[in-house]
Amino acid sequence: MAALGLKAPDHRESLRVQLIGESAAGLAEIKTVLGAISEPRLDVVEMSPQAAADETAMADIAMVVFDGNEAGPLGYLQARAERVPRPIIFALLQDRSPVLMRRVLHEGADELLFLPLQGADLARALMKLSERRRRAERLEGGLIYGFASIVGGVGVSTLSANLALVMRYVFGKRAAVVDLDLQNGGLNVILHLTPDQTIASLIEFTAKLDSIKLEAALTKHPSGIYLLAAPKRLEDAERVTDLTVATVLDLMRQLFDFVIVDCGSHVNEITVAAWERCDELLYVIDHSRIATHGARRFGELFGRLGLRLDEPRFVLNKFDPQSAMTEAVIAQSMGVGCFAKVPREDRTIEKMQLRAQDLWQLAPNSALARAIEALARRINERREPLPEASDGLVARLFSVFGARA
């Protein structure tokens, strides 16, 4: 928990800028121009090309100054080109020669500006790029949904796995599920998989992770979804850092339409790094007092963290209409109502475990499967709504046979 206090909330109101160059006087002059820009707000850090190439913290924008010696700044561009994700790169050129301009663009600069830097040129370029990036994120990036609880056994892993499955089976989306319950690794069991590779394989690559390395660490499920499993060896769980998790999720968003994260029942720097990247966080409860009490405490903690993410929404799992702890009692005890509920179906879950089948292979028309489908629609409502499956049964049969083929 101590680590939480160290993490600065990422409000994303200001853009993180690395100002990269070798001459202190040159940088100071540019910094003055940057200082006069009020919209968007800029957080500027100065560094040498070498330090910037080694830096693992991700900036939004890198401004690389070419004011004489070109080897250093070109070296930075080359080092950056090999990494995903990378910042938007502005090259600031003293020399307006077409040869240099072409070279710099070829090495990966996104925008050229000339020295001495004019405030108006810079403001226009900033606006253009942030707009272009926002549009690209909307088009290219998938959505990340997290499930969490601070109480174990309520169904975080069950819902994570099944939300990924429904995205694939019913909606035909590319989906993946990430097991961040690192010491537990329950998703392997729920999905009946025995992964060769896990998130532990990615620890050493954090700074240079790319989609090929990431894909090699994933395990494919017969349905077509992918699992990024928790480490096999318990001691490897300790080696996974918030930086690994942040890098992995940023990259997974680019590979999948939906990334579902099982955040387990811990609160630490790793889960906070995941929540920061989630488009939506779902907090799972059941009919127990301990779960609703936990939900209230979690809500309070969440408020203190000040994340960019909206408040978590609460899913009542193992819903039993006969329970004396009714929805109204639960809502009163949490101080907020439930967003969705998923029925308790012990028999279906038992059969799935015995036969090593998933819910859509075993019981695609069960109340449980329908509730997960409804949950998927609800979550997506305020984003890109999922299509209505008018031919529900046919779509289901097709997806089951399609997945087996």
Ligand X SMILES: Nc1ncnc2c1ncn2[C@@H]1O[C@H](COP(=O)(O)OP(=O)(O)O)[C@@H](O)[C@H]1O
Binding site for ligand X (CB under 6 A): 149, 152-158, 186, 317-318, 342, 344-346, 349, 368
DSSP letter assigned to residue 317: E
Closest contact distance (angstroms) between CB of 157 and ligand X is 3
Please, are residues 338 and 319 in contact by the beta-carbon 8 Å criterion? no
Of 334, 183, 190, which is closest to residue 264 (Cα–Cα)?
Answer: 183
Other Cβ atoms within 10 Å of 238 Cβ, number:
11
When the beta carbons of 63 and 342 are compared against ligand X, the nearer one is 342
Three-state DSSP class for 175? strand
CA–CA distance, 59 with 131 (Å, rounded to integer)? 17
When the beta carbons of 157 and 244 are compared against ligand X, the nearer one is 157
Cα dihedral 100, 104, 107, 112, rounded to 10, equals: -160
Three-state DSSP class for 20? strand
CA–CA distance, 171 with 399 (Å, rounded to integer)? 9
Q: For the chain, how long is the longest CA-to-CA vector?
A: 78
Of 241, 240, 239, 226, which is closest to residue 195 (Cα–Cα)?
Answer: 226
Closest contact distance (angstroms) between CB of 382 and ligand X is 25
When the beta carbons of 184 and 223 are compared against Mg ion, the nearer one is 184
CA–CA distance, 73 with 104 (Å, rounded to integer)? 9
Adjacent-strand bridge partners of 395: none
Closest contact distance (angstroms) between CB of 392 and ligand X is 21
Closest contact distance (angstroms) between CB of 240 and ligand X is 18
Closest contact distance (angstroms) between CB of 159 and ligand X is 7
DSSP letter assigned to residue 363: -
When the beta carbons of 143 and 187 are compared against ligand X, the nearer one is 187
Work out what residue 154 binds among ligand X, Mg ion, none; the CB cut-off runs from 5 to 8 Å by kind: ligand X
Work out what residue 345 binds among ligand X, Mg ion, none; the CB cut-off runs from 5 to 8 Å by kind: ligand X
Closest contact distance (angstroms) between CB of 149 and Mg ion is 9
CA distances from 362 to 93, 305, 356, 368 (A): 63, 41, 9, 11
Long-range contacts of 70-79 (CB under 8 A, 24+ apart): 70/100, 72/22, 72/48, 73/20, 73/21, 73/22, 73/49, 74/103, 74/104, 74/107, 75/49, 75/50, 76/20, 76/49, 76/50, 76/52, 77/104, 77/107, 77/108, 77/109, 78/107, 78/108, 79/53
| DSSP assignment of 180-208 | --TTT-HHHHHTT---SS-GGGGGGGGGG
Closest contact distance (angstroms) between CB of 338 and ligand X is 14
When the beta carbons of 97 and 322 are compared against ligand X, the nearer one is 322
Work out what residue 170 binds among ligand X, Mg ion, none; the CB cut-off runs from 5 to 8 Å by kind: none
When the beta carbons of 177 and 342 are compared against ligand X, the nearer one is 342
Residues that bind Mg ion (CB under 5 A): 156-157, 181, 186
When the beta carbons of 16 and 293 are compared against ligand X, the nearer one is 293
Closest contact distance (angstroms) between CB of 376 and ligand X is 15
Please, are residues 363 and 369 in contact by the beta-carbon 8 Å criterion? yes
When the beta carbons of 60 and 262 are compared against ligand X, the nearer one is 262
N-terminal to C-terminal alpha carbon distance within the chain: 47
**With 0-12 CB in 10 A as exposed, 13-18 as middle and 19+ as buried, what is 221?**
buried
Closest contact distance (angstroms) between CB of 293 and ligand X is 16
